[in-house]
Amino acid sequence: MQREKKHILLRNGNPQGNPNNAPRCGAKTRKGTTCRAPAMANGRCRMHGGKSTGPRTSEGLERSKKAHLKHGYYSAGSADMRKYIKQLLRENQALTEFIKEQFQQ
């Protein structure tokens, strides 16, 4: 009787199988030899994979913007809002002056 192989799913979408058969990095090391660490999806290992190139999807870009926003004081929408409020105050001041003059007489 043959035992059925139990399928155990690995985390982070990692493939099953013998890890020794994983593709290798192959980057040139400081020693001059090729790197023998297991490669990631980009073909290089965790030490030679290079820096992150940032978010690509619009979803990721939005998340990144939201995460880096501190107060939004200098954002375009905020500047417009301040301009609008200043204008309202100016108009209100003129109206207040007008009303004051009306009641003083």
Contact flag: residue 22 with Zn ion (CB under 5 A): no
Residue closer to Zn ion by CB (options 28, 63) is 28
Q: How many residues does the chain have?
A: 105
Contact flag: residue 48 with Zn ion (CB under 5 A): yes
Question: CA end-to-end span of the chain, whole Å?
Answer: 110
Residue closer to Zn ion by CB (options 42, 87) is 42
The nearest distance, CB 29 to Zn ion, in angstroms, is: 7
Q: How far is CA 61 from CA 65, 67, 75, in A?
A: 6, 10, 17
DSSP bridge pairs for 28: 34
Residues 60-99 close enough to bind Zn ion by CB under 5 A: none
CA distance 54 to 30: 27
Contact flag: residue 24 with Zn ion (CB under 5 A): no
User: What is the contact surface with Zn ion in residues (CB under 5 A)?
Assistant: 25, 27, 35, 37, 45, 48
